[in-house]
Amino acid sequence: MKRALLSLIFLVTFLKLSSQNTKIDIEFNNLSKLEAIELIEKKTNYRFFFIKDWLDTEKINGTFNNKDITEILDHIFGTTNINFHITKNNQVILTNGSLIRKTVFEEDQKNNYHAPIITDEDSYVVGKEKQERQDFYKLSGRIKSKKNNQPLEGVTIFEREKNIFTTTTKNGFYSLELPYGKNYIEVSASGFSRDSRALVVHSDGNLNFSLKEKNEELDEVVIDAKRNFNVKQTVAGITQIKAKDIKTIPQVLGERDILKAVVTLPGIKSAGEGSEGVNVRGGKVDQNLFLLDEGVMYNPTHFLGLFSAINPFTTEDLNVYKGNTPAEYGGRISSVFDINTKDASTEKFKGEASIGPVTGNLSLEVPIIKDKSGLLVGARSTYSDWILNILDDKKLANSSASFQDAILKYNHEFDKNNTLKITGYYSNDEFQIASDSLNSYNNTIVTANWFHKFNDKNKGNLILSNSNYEFGIDFEGNQNRNFDLNYNINETGLKLKLQYLHSKKHQFVYGLESKLYNVSPGSINPKGQNSVVTPLNIPKEKGIENGIFISDAFKVNDKLAIDLGLRFSQYVSLGPTSQRIYQDNLPRNQSSLLNTVERDNFEIFNTYQGLSYRLSARYLLNDDLSVKAGVNKLFQYIHRLSNNTTASPLDTWRLSDHNIKPQEGTQFSLGVFQNFDNSNYELSVEGYYKKYENLLDFKTGANLLLNETIETEVLQGPGKSYGVEFLIRKKAGRLNGWLGYTYARSLIQLDGNFNEEIVNNGKFFPTNYDKPHSLDIIMNYKLTERYSISSNFSYQTGRPITYPTGKFIFQGSEFLNYSNRNAFRIPDYYRLDIGINIEGNHKIKKFAHSFWNISVYNVLGRNNPYSIFFETVNGNVTGFKSSIFSTPIPTITYNFRF
Amino acid sequence: MKNYKIQIVSVFSFMLISIIGCIEPFETTNLTFEDVLVIEGRLTNENKFHTIKLSRTFQIDSTDPSPERNAKVSVIEDGTIVHNFTEQEAGVYTTDNSFSAKANTIYQLKIETQNGKTYSSTDQNLTETAEVEAINFKVTKKQFEDEDEVEITVNSFSNNADAKYFFYEYEETYQIVSRFWSSFTLDTSVYPPLAVKRADPEFGRVCYGTNVSSEILQAETSNLSENRVVDFKIRSIPPTDFILRDRYSILVKQYVQTLNAYSYFEILDKFSTSENVFAQSQVSFIQGNIFSDTDPEEKVIGFFEVNSVATKRLFFNKEDVLQNQFSDFPETCEPRVIPKFGNFGSRPLEEAIQEGYIFYNFGDSGLTDVDDMNDLPFVMVKRPCGDCTVFGSNVKPDFWID
């Protein structure tokens, strides 16, 4: 049909639009439309071109004497969506809704300009096209459950791009004002699978949905981006992952992990198995803002980075902004990971559970007040330390590791205009690996988000959040120096975000945000009576980060859209503190310390401010092809201090002050986005260049924990990263998945006036996470409705490393002299995982719906080096390589939902 | 290969899963080599001939250190007095006069290598003093393992506020008594050989072996309320080690360091031992306090220190620490009766001597005359069983107290 339509359009381009004067006598006596057309063809020399499916069965009656053909056709098709066009050769071309124009880009001066609508077979046509148009038409209908045909209340119907939405009434009815032309409607209700429909709105119309219950659904689409959304969205570099969609990706130790899924996408990398955090487009690990329901998550991983601390069962989706960060976010210069928790069902008690070799996971949705409020509870825990206990290495057998996380979310809809959501989150890790010290760390997050709709054009959110991250080391050796060490960071944030839907052309988001940071950078206290450890408290740090932002999604015309965002960002350092002032032009140390100024509580002693801009533009070359560009600048006032080559949970976060400058990042990006085969394939190529100022690094061998004068160890320098990302994705069909390839570099320069401040002679050198080539292929093949096979292949260039360039004898032992920093690389990383997913049977009456996952991680048994290090053993230097998972690891997990 | 092997039995599937977090040796190839001057040495407040060692870095896959020869080495005291060093053996330079470093005096190391390059250290002062209060020994369980170990610990104390950083060296001397010693030795100028009385009647019976520490041993009291080092473990010895068989002595030297020197050695040590599998320290070249006078970018390894030193010695016998345990002798010793002539004209005794056997006794013959006994087959033992000079010196050190 698509072909037919295109050829029609082609045909029309050289036909004249003139009416015929032949008069006709005809009589219809209870004829179907097809029969009526056949009758006209029989009696006249008009010939009709159409598709039979367009015609309904409504009977035609009427007598026409000496009438024009148009009058007769108006009578026949007047109440339907069919438009007709008569050529001078007496050909009658019927179209389903569309008006026929001379060219695709014909303009109609009499009416408001509307781009011609190029439909394809998936689009549902509402009404028929008329010469005179309104801006908006009313779409109404009824939404029912497919299972029992009951009307559904509270179903959301929305046109995401245009921000138009409504919900169904008690009897399942809805009506929605939609602009003329193409719209993309999504229908969602919790417990039901999402439905979506591309619409062409020509006039008022009716559209009914019947929704499938989620339990009946089988996922075949692994990552669900909205059709054509990737092409049309103004901002580039956004990735959305839905938690439910990642279950077919093979997993390590059976843990479904949204962060592990994210790192298979271009531009997002992790340092390796067992390392914390991700590096986004060549940025440092601390430059990513992890938000769980708007609360900051300082450590989103468990067990030294092997598992993510985000419960997959309670997570709705994750949006990653790696290109252009919306103006409403600030404080980190590389990316935003916006994690949204599910809303609990307000109708039905539901649950989901899984059993894997490492953890058990349970989540429940409990309606509190029917149709108004619900409570989501999720909890996850390791069974015990039994894995480590059965190790045959004595060192590790005496080790222990365990983790837990729990989430609670309450959502309450007071009325249509007021909704309150409260989220509480806690995660905890404890581990003791071959040492006397018990390490532990935990995150606590509480957020409250009040949504209020002022009117159809104005709405807003008021968000209050508190986030706490702390870690401790509990040391018990045999000597006189047992201690307790603690670190804590706490932030309280208030954010007001308002949206103003000014017009079709302008949509504004504006607001302000303020955050109070309280950092206890470390304290150590003696433990036990024999301990002679002196208690030490590094003085607390306090600061306020303010932001005021406005952005306008400006649709210049149908092709060009611009997103303009500005954020004025300010950071003030607050007392109480002892402000240390050092002599300029000297390395900071005890001898260059000029004086120490005591500051009172809440006394402002230092301020940084700057204008952060976020600009992006999209130009549609055609419906399936667009070019996007962006430039943005961001500031970061909080820094994670680490002098390990990879991040660890015991890294401390510290605040900027007069001695430690904020980090700045500027990114330029350009991308081309193309969809083809009816949007089943998405193809994108994006390039970026990022500049950094004041990246943090440290003097060689610096001690960062419990350091009272951390500024004497800090080095700050510029950095740059650049790269090209290529992604091709097949979204549907028996075989689906994606292939991503990235070429990227990340460099830093540490140059100073003094020997101790210079690294690699002051030249740019690769960062620890610089990995030029990376390739990821994720594939999922559906054998039957119940069985599917998935695979994940990953390749990365080995990360940079500092190798020894010689050795020497000192004190009777051999020691190493090292090369310039990061002059070498560890061997390349590659890994293949394979998984088989088996859905339980689909009997509707069944109590629970089950799902098995059998997966083998690292099928090739590749011994990927995680690190290379050198040790002096018995006076001789030996090189070692360590790897975390060096053999294939099969696992089985069992999930069920009820 | 050292494997950290983890085995998991999946509770519901009877499936065996193995995760191997693995550490294995790694062959280094294609590493570029940097030739750097290495300076090792310190002055102390002991009145003695002080020594500075100069060498150059060498290839990773090589075992030969390359001494830096023919350099001019001197230490300048308070900018005026010059203490010259003379090369005594390859790369080892010793002061021409004996002297002790004095408090409140500035010392600077100056080196001119044979290629004409000159190097200077920053100015150094003698550090504050601290005394070694006690050296203790005890048997404890080895950390994370079931085995015992003999642990030797140091306690020290200082009233000086600045004596907070300590560097330790030890020199252990152990007495070793031959298990199958004989006052006779063989005269092999004839065959069959004759057993004759030793010229030195005690030769090879009791010997003294010596080891010096080769690790970086450091302690600090910077975050303690007093400058007291308690039970700092300086040495651990497996109970089965033969050095504990008879009598053992350890001399502990405690140097008081500056913070900078302490940090230098601490980082050096940190960069040569791995902390844990998951986090790797960022390594790189470590700058000491010695610089090239002409090229500030030239790397120089080493830290010139002027330390106050305190020493203490400890003796103990095996019975003092281990009652029910036997220390291994480093050789299996079974006396063998070896005939002088065998079948078909073979000479088993000659072969045994060539293999390293020495004379032990004449067997339980009841004879008293040596000439008669020389006609009997000899009882022989491997050399280490009857001659302790294999393990150490036959000369009793001056400090030794029995």
pLDDT tens readout for residues A825-849: 888 889 898 988 888 765 655 566 7
Chain centre to alpha carbon of residue A631: 19
By C-alpha distance, the chain A residue nearest B219 is A481
What's the CA gap between A175 and B139, in Å, rounded? Answer: 85
Chain centre to alpha carbon of residue B180: 28
* pLDDT(A732) > 70: yes
pLDDT tens readout for residues B210-219: 999 988 999 9
Phi/psi class of residue A602: alpha, beta or left (left: φ > 0; alpha: ψ in -120 to 50)? left
Tell me, yes or no, if the two domains B37-127+280-307 and B131-177+209-272+313-321 fold the same way.
yes
Tokens linked to B170: 């030890």
Among residues A47, A81, A96, the one where a domain terminates is A96
Name the nearest CA neighbour of A749 among A706, A695, A802: A695
Considering chain B, what percentage of its residues have pLDDT values greater than 90?
Answer: 42
Residues A151, A259, single domain; the answer is no
Residue A550, strand partner residues:
A510, A566
Q: If DSSP codes are grouped into helix, strand and coil, which group holds residue A772?
A: coil
Domain B131-177+209-272+313-321 of CATH type 1.10.357: no
A759 contact B CB<8A: yes
As a whole number, mean pLDDT of residues A109-126 equals 48
Mean pLDDT over each residue of chain B, to the nearest integer: 84
* pLDDT of res. A618: 93
A393 contact B CB<8A: yes
What's the CA gap between A445 and B202, in Å, rounded? Answer: 79
pLDDT tens readout for residues A20-31: 456 788 888 888
* pLDDT(A549) > 70: yes
Dihedral pair phi/psi, residue B381, rounded to 5°: -135, 160
By C-alpha distance, the chain A residue nearest B274 is A871
Name the nearest CA neighbour of A542 among A574, A504, A564, A506: A574
Is residue A112 in some structural domain? no
Residues A166, A271, single domain; the answer is no
pLDDT tens readout for residues B235-290: 999 888 888 888 999 999 999 999 889 888 988 887 776 554 445 677 788 888 99
Instruction: Return the residue matching tokens 């700057």.
Output: A610
pLDDT tens readout for residues A788-805: 898 989 999 988 888 888
What's the CA gap between A214 and A474, in Å, rounded? Answer: 47
Give the distance between the most distant pair of CA atoms in chain A: 118
* pLDDT of res. B397: 93
* Residue type for position A893: T
Q: Which of A533, A810, A871 sits opposite B223 (nearest CB)?
A: A533
Is residue A28 in some structural domain? yes
What's the CA gap between A249 and B116, in Å, rounded? Answer: 65
CB contacts under 8 A, A 151-190 vs B, are none
Binary contact (B297, A357; C-beta < 8 A): no
Considering chain B, what percentage of its residues have pLDDT values greater than 70?
Answer: 88
As a whole number, mean pLDDT of residues A309-334 equals 91
A856 contact B CB<8A: no
Binary contact (A885, B20; C-beta < 8 A): yes
Residues A145, A277, single domain; the answer is no
- Domain with A11 in it: what CATH number? 3.55.50.30
What's the CA gap between B153 and B137, in Å, rounded? Answer: 6
Tokens linked to B398: 């001056």
* pLDDT(A223) > 50: no
A528 contact B CB<8A: no
Residues A242, A166, single domain; the answer is no
Residues A580 and A596: beta-carbon distance below 8 Å: yes
pLDDT tens readout for residues A171-185: 888 888 888 777 888
* pLDDT(A104) > 50: no
What's the CA gap between A236 and A630, in Å, rounded? Answer: 7
Residues B254 and B168: beta-carbon distance below 8 Å: yes
* pLDDT(A74) > 60: yes
A506-520, B37-51, B92-106, B337-351: segment of lowest average pLDDT: B337-351
Tokens linked to A734: 């028996």
Residues A457, A512, single domain; the answer is yes
* pLDDT of res. A100: 53
Instruction: Return the residue matching tokens 């250190």.
Output: B65
- Domain with A603 in it: what CATH number? 2.40.170.20
pLDDT tens readout for residues B154-189: 999 998 888 889 999 999 999 988 888 988 888 888
Q: Of the ranges A348-362, A754-768, A873-887, B172-186, which is most confident?
A: B172-186
Q: Cα torsion at B286, A765, A653, A590 (round to 10°)? A: 40
Q: Which of A387, A481, A813 sits opposite B215 (nearest CB)?
A: A813
Mean pLDDT over each residue of chain A, to the nearest integer: 82
Binary contact (B65, A391; C-beta < 8 A): no
Q: If DSSP codes are grouped into helix, strand and coil, which group holds residue B195?
A: strand
* pLDDT(A388) > 70: no
Binary contact (A808, B57; C-beta < 8 A): yes
* Residue type for position A840: G
Is residue A265 in some structural domain? yes
Is residue A102 in some structural domain? no
Residues A640 and A599: beta-carbon distance below 8 Å: no
Q: If DSSP codes are grouped into helix, strand and coil, which group holds residue B298?
A: coil
pLDDT band at B296; cut points 50, 70, 90: confident
* pLDDT(A14) > 70: no
Name the nearest CA neighbour of A744 among A771, A718, A719: A771
- Domain with A166 in it: what CATH number? 2.60.40.1120
- Bond into A576 cis (ω within 30): yes
A589 contact B CB<8A: no
A355 contact B CB<8A: yes
pLDDT tens readout for residues A278-292: 899 999 999 999 999
Give the distance between the most distant pair of CA atoms in chain B: 82
Q: Which of B10, B36, B59 sits opposite A357 (nearest CB)?
A: B10
Phi/psi class of residue B206: alpha, beta or left (left: φ > 0; alpha: ψ in -120 to 50)? beta
What residue segments make up the domains of chain B, in order of their start? 37-127+280-307, 131-177+209-272+313-321, 184-200+327-390
* pLDDT(B123) > 60: yes
By C-alpha distance, the chain B residue nearest A852 is B13
Binary contact (B10, A880; C-beta < 8 A): no
A811 contact B CB<8A: yes
**Domain B37-127+280-307 in this protein, CATH class:** mainly beta
pLDDT band at A814; cut points 50, 70, 90: confident
- Bond into A800 cis (ω within 30): no
Tokens linked to A607: 């301020």
Residues A330, A407, single domain; the answer is yes
Chain A interface test: which of B19, B32, B169 (most A C-beta within 10 Å) = B19
As a whole number, mean pLDDT of residues A34-48 equals 83
Q: Which of A479, A698, A819 sits opposite B32 (nearest CB)?
A: A819
* pLDDT(A4) > 70: no
Binary contact (A816, B271; C-beta < 8 A): yes
By C-alpha distance, the chain A residue nearest B226 is A532
Q: If DSSP codes are grouped into helix, strand and coil, which group holds residue A864?
A: coil
Tokens linked to B65: 């250190």
Dihedral pair phi/psi, residue A305, rounded to 5°: 95, 0
pLDDT band at A500; cut points 50, 70, 90: very high
CB burial of residue A610 (10 Å; 0-12, 13-18, 19+): middle
pLDDT band at A50; cut points 50, 70, 90: confident
Q: Which of B25, B33, B38 sits opposite A805 (nearest CB)?
A: B33
DSSP secondary structure letter of residue A879:
E
Residues A247, A148, single domain; the answer is no
Tokens linked to A577: 């503190």
By C-alpha distance, the chain B residue nearest A883 is B22
Number of compact structural domains in chain A: 3
As a whole number, mean pLDDT of residues A664-679 equals 90
Chain A interface test: which of B14, B26, B146 (most A C-beta within 10 Å) = B26
Which chain A residues are Cβ-neighbours of B276 within 8 angstroms?
Answer: 433-435
Chain A interface test: which of B168, B255, B282 (most A C-beta within 10 Å) = B282
What's the CA gap between B358 and B374, in Å, rounded? Answer: 15
A735 contact B CB<8A: no
Binary contact (B287, A700; C-beta < 8 A): yes
What's the CA gap between A627 and A620, in Å, rounded? Answer: 7
Is residue A838 in some structural domain? yes
Name the nearest CA neighbour of A387 among A421, A346, A357: A357
Tokens linked to A715: 């080095």
Residues A401, A448, single domain; the answer is yes
By C-alpha distance, the chain B residue nearest A858 is B19
Domain that holds residue A188: 124-217
Strand order in the sheet with A124-126: A124-126, A195-201, A181-188, A156-159, A164-167
| DSSP line for A330-368 | -S-SSEEEEEEEPPPPSSS-EEEEEE-SSEEEEEEEEEE
By C-alpha distance, the chain A residue nearest B217 is A811
> How many C-beta neighbours within 10 Å does residue A64 have?
16
Residues A200, A51, single domain; the answer is no
Is residue A659 in some structural domain? yes
As a whole number, mean pLDDT of residues A720-736 equals 90
- A486 contact partners, CB below 8 Å, separation of at least 6: A470, A471, A472, A520, A522, A523, A524
CB burial string A278-317: b at 16+ within 10 A, e below:
bbbbbbbbbbbbbbbbbbbbbbbbbbbbbbbbbbbbbbeb
As a whole number, mean pLDDT of residues A308-317 equals 89
- A61 contact partners, CB below 8 Å, separation of at least 6: A28, A29, A30, A31
CB contacts under 8 A, A 453-512 vs B, are 478-481
What's the CA gap between A636 and A652, in Å, rounded? Answer: 15
A866 contact B CB<8A: yes
- B361 contact partners, CB below 8 Å, separation of at least 6: B182, B184, B335, B378, B379
